[in-house]
Structure 1
C-alpha cells in the first residue's frame, strides 16, 4: 500500500485508499471495482500531535482506481484545511 503525503499550508496531508468489494465483501463477486479513501491531516510542527482523519464520501460515482481515490482524498483534505468543507472526524 502506498500512502501519499504532501505539505499544504503548514499541514501534512496523507491519503490512502482501499478497494471495496461488491456484495458481502466478496472479492470474486461480479461488478465494477470501487475504491474508498481516507485523508489524515496533521500539523507540521513537531510539538503538535493533533492529527485528524476523515473518510471520503462519494456522492456521485466511486473512483475506479486507487490513484483516483487518493487524488480525490487529497483535494478533500485541501478543502478541509481551506475551510470550504465541514467534515466529521473518524
Structure 2
C-alpha cells in the first residue's frame, strides 16, 4: 500500500458547479480503487508553464490518498478522456 499525491488540472473556463461535480466524481473513483480517506484541495486558477490544449491557465486540484500500485493505472484510465481535465499527474509520496 502506497501513499499518493495526484494533481489534476482542469480547463480554466469550467464553471464552479461543474468543477464541484468533477472533484466529487474523482474522489469517488479514487475511493473505489484506493483505500482509506481521500483528501483534496482546490488550489485555484494558475498560469501554466506552457499551453496545454490551447489553454494558458488551469484550475489546479490536489488529491492525497492511499492505494495499491495496481489501482493507479485504473484511476488514470478512468480520467483519460474527460473533456474538462487538461492533465493528471500521480506520484508516490510514501510507501507503507
Q: Give the TM-score taking structure 2 as reference length.
A: 0.28
Which one has a larger percent strand, Structure 1 or Structure 2? 2
Given the two structures, how large is their TM-score scaled by the length of structure 1? 0.29
Which structure would you say has the larger RCO, counting Cα contacts within 8 Å and 6 or more residues apart? Answer: 2
Higher helix share: 2
Q: Which has the larger Rg?
A: 1
